[in-house]
Structure formats: structure tokens, C-alpha cells
Structure 1
Amino acid sequence: MSEFKLILADIDGTILPAGHHQVSERTTAALEAALDAGIRVGVATGRAREWAIPMLRNKQRLADTMLATNGMQVFLDGELLHEEQISNKQIGRMAEFLEQLPHAGLVCFDGGVPQLVAGSIKDMEQCFPKYVESCRILHELPSTPTVKCNAFQVGDLDNTCNFSALLNEQFDDLSFDVPQPAWVNVTPHGWSKATGIDLLCQAIGCSLDAVAVFGDGGNDVTMLEHVPYSVAVQGAAPEALAAARYHIGRCEDDAVAATIEAIVAGRWEAQD
């Protein structure tokens, strides 16, 4: 096994169990031990960087290198290395289409503030209630650049997968994936966590063989397929389990932390 230079983990469902607001102390300790051993570590998440840091027990250095907003923002050693944006032309086309679908809508973010561009606040509340309290209702194109954008439609996971597939068919310049029921990530076509990892590897000067990634959801599939040392936790989405080369225990049991501890100690025996 090659010496690792970079370790990235998804947050929700991978190192943060459902219903928890912060990762475990064991997880932050394992990540910090890897940093102290000279390995760059961080998270690869659909969340913005300012939201990720509190989840990491406010240990900012654990977010110095990371992929935020599904790779739309790439950070290296505390600096923004790259940022992708979704144009207002693309947002307008999505909004027009989504207004025709039942219980569907579009949210664009101004930093950490959600802005409702299409759909009703009532439907949005059913899809992602936490965002409603701080949401601005626009129903017009955003006046600030858009990095994070989500489509939503009330329904279960199967419905959301069908909704995402419909959007992928409709918009050939955008990509859509499912992080959770009723909620869909939007990125420029061809952009993902995998492309963000390529940028980090280029900047660090390492190959993909020196990278380990951990994930559990649909928005992790691109990086799990892309990186040879890809790991899914028990209970991950079927597509994530299929994409990952290796499989470990549950998020709730700190399986990622245990694996990183083993990597740092030089005793991880990866098993398919």
C-alpha cells in the first residue's frame, strides 16, 4: 500500500451520525493525528465550509483542506484553490422548469443563507425544514454569484431518484445527484467531488494512489469510483456501496476514525 498524502471524508452519514450536530471526539482526534503525521486531511461535503467547521468541533484546521459544496469550492491549507459557479441563465432555466412540477422548487445560497428562487416555502419546509427559518424568498434570479444550489421535490427516496434522473435528462449542462430524500444537489456538468480531488492532487503533487476517501451517499459516488482507496461505511446507499472498493463498519461506531487510526499507525489492512 502506498503512503497516503490526502484523506477526505464525507460528513453526514459517514463521520456524523443522523441526529448529531458534531462528530465524535474520537473522529477529530483521528483526523488531527493524521495531520500531525504529515497527511493532509479534511472533509468532502455538500455543505459550505462555514457550516462544516462547527460540525468538526470548531477545529478549523480540519477544514483547511476540503471540498465544500460537492467540490464547487476546493480549499488547500486554508486558501480557496478553486471555485465553480452556476450562472443565472442556468438558474433561470431550472426555475422555469421546476415551477411546472408539483411540490418542487429551487434554492440558491448567498454564502450560508438559503434563497428560494422557485417553489413554495411550505414545500421547501417538508424537504429541508432547517433552512426555512433563515430563508429569503426571492422568486427572482439571485443578485450574488451562486456556488451552492439545490432542487427539491416533496417525496420519498425513490421519488427523489426519479426526480434527479428527470433533471439530468432535461439539462445537459448541469449534473444532479441525491444526497437525501426530497433534496437534489446541482453542479455544472462534469463537476463533482472527483474533479475537486484531481485539483488537490495536482496542487499537492500526489497521485490518486496516495488518496483515501470515505463516503456513504449518492453525492459521494464520483469520488468513490475515482479513487483506488475508496471506502464506504456500513449502511451506505446502494450506489455508494457499489462504487467503493472497500467497506467498513458503521458511522455510529466511529468506523472511519478507527480506519484513519490504523492508517496513521501503518496497520490498515484494506479488504474488499
Structure 2
Amino acid sequence: MLGMICVDVDGTLVGSGGVALPEVWAALSEARAAGMRVVLCSGRPAVGHALDYARRLDPDGWHVFQNGASIVNVASGESRSEELPQELLLKLVAEARSTGRILETYTDREYAVESTAPAAVAHADLLGLPFEPRDLLSLPGTVVRAQWLIPYSEADALLAEPHPGLQLHPAGSPVMPETLFVSVTREGVSKGSAVRRVADIYGISLQRAMMVGDGHNDVTAMQVVGYPVAMGNADKEARAAARYHVADVDAGGLAEAAALAMRE
């Protein structure tokens, strides 16, 4: 079997119903019990539902959150964070306030959003957190990431804008199908860079690692592992980066990927 399987959340672990299928949990539990490291590899922060998922997948393991900006051991709380430079953060906040776009800011464990738009409220529910608007610059500690919440109709315009020193990670969720989440990290920080670090921590060869995903923000991680797997509902970028393809998230495709990891 492989040494490590990395698992995206929205559209991979969690489907349109907002939950993971029982057969998926069973397959991943079997992989962990056999000795494989099971790593959550999400754009979400290490709080709420995502933290619960990580603890269920591998309760004493390292997991990737915030598109690589946070690498957290969920047992010890130790973090390998990548700071979002202050001057770049201030520019993002100024842009949000001038344009009215929804922006969120994140530390490892907290987030802030000023907007009270329906998408901002719905996203708090998706994260499993209470909706509590607060100043984008009010978070204590190190800010590691920001995130735009925009309608898909605005995607091309936002992604075409210059973002010097920053890396953008667009992704969607079947639970909020009208909203595109554009995560913003320091340039060079991605799921791919984080998967490399986790593999190094565990002493596992990347050629014996699998990444299962469905979105553009999963591609960097798919590119560094020996077993890149795209879900049946994956976007074109993820499909193009994959070596293997499995069923749709709502049809248990992740369980299929876990079975493949057990056979290899």
C-alpha cells in the first residue's frame, strides 16, 4: 500500500449534502488502521468541521489547512504556518473596503469577515462556526491567509487582476454552488508545498503518496505526488493533472481512491 493519502474536503470528502458518506469514512479508517497516514488537505481553516474531519481521519497526525498556509498537528496543536505579509494584507483589506467584495482574513484558528452578505453568513455555517462579523484587521496573532467570496460571474475579472507577491487558489463547494472561494496566500505557498513538508515530516517518499481532489487549488498537490487522483466531479484543471480518475463525490469516489491506495 501507499504511505500517505491526502484528501481534499469540498467536492472530495464532502458532497452536495454537506457530509461524507459512511462508506468513505470506512475506507479511510481502514487505510489508517493498516498504517497509512491519512492527511486532510483543505482550503478550510483548522477549526469547526474541518478540524473534526482531520481528527477523525488521523487523530495524532499532521494535516494541511488554508491551502498550505497552515500545517497543523491536531493532537499537539503544533503549527507550521506561512505568514501573509502585512503590507499585502493591508492592500487586500483596502481593496475589499473600496469595492464591497466579501473578504475574509485568517489566522491558524480564527477568522474575520466584515460583510453581512448572505454568502458570508452561509460560509460561516459551512465552516461550522457562528457568524460574528468583525474588523478584518482585528485578529490576534499571525494572519496566514485571506479569502475572497465572489459570484462565479466575477471570477475572470478578479483572477485577471495583478496580485504581486501573492498566490491565488480558486475553489468551489457543492454546498455553495453559486460562490467561488479565492484563497490568497503568500507567493509560493500552496497545497503542493504543504504536502511536501508533511511527507518530509513523516519520512514518506512523495512517489508513494496520493492526492485526491476536485479543484484548481488541488493541482499543486497533485503535481508533487506519484498518485494524483481526480474525482468524477473535478474541474478541468484537476482532471488534466490526474493520473487516475474515480467516481463523483456523491457516488463515493473517495472510497474508490482509498481502495486504490491500499492496493498499490
Identity %: 22
CA distance in 2, matches of 1:60, 1:30: 10
Q: Are 1:206 and 2:201 counterparts? A: no
Change over 3 Å in CA distance of 1:75–1:127 after alignment to 2: closer
Change over 3 Å in CA distance of 1:115–1:127 after alignment to 2: closer
Change over 3 Å in CA distance of 1:61–1:235 after alignment to 2: closer
CA distance in 1, matches of 2:247, 2:60: 24
Structure number with the higher strand fraction is 1
CA distance in 1, matches of 2:199, 2:53: 25
CA distance in 2, matches of 1:195, 1:214: 16
CA distance in 1, matches of 2:142, 2:81: 11
Q: Are 1:59 and 2:56 counterparts? A: yes
Retained in 1: the 8 A contact 2:29–2:57?
no
Aligned position for 1:87:
85
Matches within 5 A, 1:116-265: 116=113, 120-122=115-117, 125-126=118-119, 129-131=122-124, 134-138=131-135, 140=137, 142-153=139-150, 155-156=151-152, 158-166=153-161, 169=162, 171-180=163-172, 181-264=179-262
Cα offset, 1:62, TM superposition: 5.1
Aligned position for 1:4:
2
DSSP 3-state at the match of 1:83: coil
Q: How many residue pairs are counted as aligned between the two chains? A: 252
Change over 3 Å in CA distance of 1:64–1:202 after alignment to 2: closer
CA distance in 2, matches of 1:14, 1:173: 29
Retained in 2: the 8 A contact 1:11–1:45?
yes
DSSP 3-state at the match of 2:111: strand
DSSP 3-state at the match of 2:141: coil
CA distance in 2, matches of 1:128, 1:41: 31
Cα offset, 1:209, TM superposition: 0.6
Cα offset, 1:116, TM superposition: 2.5
DSSP 3-state at the match of 2:105: strand
Residue type matched to 1:162 in 2?
A
Q: Which among 96, 102, 106 is matched to residue 103 of structure 2?
A: 106
DSSP 3-state at the match of 1:163: helix
TM score, norm. by length of structure 2 = 0.84
Change over 3 Å in CA distance of 1:98–1:112 after alignment to 2: same
Query: Using CA pairs below 8 Å that are at least 6 residues apart, which structure has the higher relative contact order?
Result: 2
Matches within 5 A, 1:3-82: 3-20=1-18, 22-51=19-48, 52-55=50-53, 59=56, 61=58, 64-76=61-73, 78-79=75-76, 80=78, 82=80
Change over 3 Å in CA distance of 1:202–1:77 after alignment to 2: farther
Residue type matched to 1:212 in 2?
M
Alignment RMSD, CA only? 2.5
Unpaired stretches in structure 2, ≥5 consecutive residues? 173-178
Aligned position for 2:175:
none
Aligned position for 2:176:
none
Q: Which ranges of 4 or more aligned residues in structure 1 deviate by more than 6 Å?
A: none
1:116-174 CA-partner distances (Å, limit 9, x unpaired) = 25xx423xx23562328523231545443213421233x22x522431331xx2x2211
Retained in 2: the 8 A contact 1:8–1:212?
yes
CA distance in 2, matches of 1:107, 1:92: 12
Retained in 2: the 8 A contact 1:42–1:62?
no
TM score, norm. by length of structure 1 = 0.82
Change over 3 Å in CA distance of 1:113–1:65 after alignment to 2: closer
